[in-house]
Homo-oligomer: A and B are copies of this chain.
């Protein structure tokens, strides 16, 4: 059985984050030592590693919650898991597209700037006047 600190060490998830995951029910309530300190077994460790990996892949916590509950039902069809992953892929692709547009806009802005005074700074100018902008709608990134 591992202490929360060791668990943190083996999974790379910070101690307060582990407690946070427990508090929102993503991890089950941990067993406690005589002195009320959390103790974790291998299963908890695997569950946390799963969460961490999914977080690294950008899945929001409620998707992870869903994926975890799916992984507890091995006999079910994996279509639901696929749907979640596909949704995530679409969102990642979308964010890439948007960010690439931003990148171009920022590059253009910087390329044009002769680096004189603020009054003829293209950075400020482009930001001030939407007409100078190639794109009309960026949306959230």
Binding site for B on A (CB under 8 A): 46, 49-50, 53-54, 56-58, 67, 70-71, 73-79, 81-82, 84-86, 88-89, 92-93, 95-96, 99-100, 102-103, 105-107, 109-110, 113, 115-121, 123-124, 126-128, 130, 133, 137-139, 141
Contact = CB atoms under 8 A, between A and B. Distances in A.
B88 A106 contact: yes
A127 B89 contact: no
Contacts of A117: 74-78
Contacts of A46: 128
Tell me the dominant secondary structure on chain A's binding face. Answer: helix
16 contacts: A53-B126, A53-B127, A53-B130, A53-B133, A56-B138, A70-B118, A77-B115, A77-B116, A78-B113, A78-B120, A82-B123, A85-B106, A85-B113, A92-B103, A95-B99, A96-B96
A123 to B, nearest CB: 5
A121 B57 contact: no
A27 to B, nearest CB: 15
Given A50-B127, A124-B81, A118 B74 contact: yes
